[in-house]
Structure 1
Amino acid sequence: MAFRPPLGPPPGQPPGTQQVPQPLTPPPSFIPPQPAPFRIDPGAIEGCLFRFTYLWLANGEQFWFFPVFVGSRSIAGFRWTGRTWRRTGFDLRLIIAFTC
């Protein structure tokens, strides 16, 4: 089962200030095989929340991603730069394939 942080801020922290934890380790060192492109559904990619996920984008970019939020049209989380995790988000329509 995937790690899911507790709901709400830690004790003593005001509501709305909860920090979503970035991964503490690098992603796997391999690139998974790309699945056939398909229309990305928020419900499908939601199963990848808080898991290492490999993304292929329409612009040709591909990278490890650690999603922490999936909305009806967008996704947010941490992108692996090759050295560190960087917080980012983008439109779900940019994703042509993913695997987690």
Structure 2
Amino acid sequence: MAFMPPTGPQGAQSPPSSPPPQAPPPRPLGASTLAVDPGAISRCMFRMTYVWPRSGPGFWFFPTFVGRTSVAGFRWNGFFWMFTGIDLQRIDAFTCV
């Protein structure tokens, strides 16, 4: 399934105008759950957010849409922001700054 940028009165959402911080934040303490709660990650909407996936390296993310089972927004690839979506079950931990 392809994720499309959410639209609204302002049109398509735009990525941040600057890169994320150079260093990742400290990983939150506590046990992982089976899936990230949509209500918990929704507080990070339109904020720089660091995501630790269940597999693979962590990355900076700028969420612009939170659904029941997924989150979409812009992921920093080291050079520029690119639009992407992530299943909430694939996220181990996150923190917004």
TM-score band by shorter chain is: 0.7 to 0.9
SS at match of 1:34: coil
Which residue of the other structure, out of 28, 33, 39, is the alignment partner of 2:26? 33
Structure 2 gap ranges (5+): 1-6
Question: Which residue in the other structure is 1:69 paired with?
Answer: 65
Structure 1 gap ranges (5+): 1-6, 11-17
| Count of residue pairs brought into register by the alignment | 87
Cα distance in 1 between the residues matched to 2:66 and 2:94 = 14
- TM-score, L = length of structure 2: 0.83
Question: Which residue in the other structure is 1:9 paired with?
Answer: 9
- TM-score, L = length of structure 1: 0.81
1:33: Cα distance to partner?
1.1
Q: How does 1:51-62 map to 2 (within 5 A)?
A: 51-62=47-58
- Identity across the alignment (%): 53
1:60: Cα distance to partner?
2.6
Question: Which residue in the other structure is 1:13 paired with?
Answer: none
Question: Which residue in the other structure is 2:79 paired with?
Answer: 83
User: Which gives a bigger RCO, structure 1 or 2 (Cα 8 Å, sep 6+)?
Assistant: 2
1:38: Cα distance to partner?
2.5
Larger Rg: 1
Question: What amino acid is the match of 1:57?
Answer: P
Cα distance in 1 between the residues matched to 2:8 and 2:52 = 32
Moved over 3 A (4+): none
SS at match of 1:22: coil
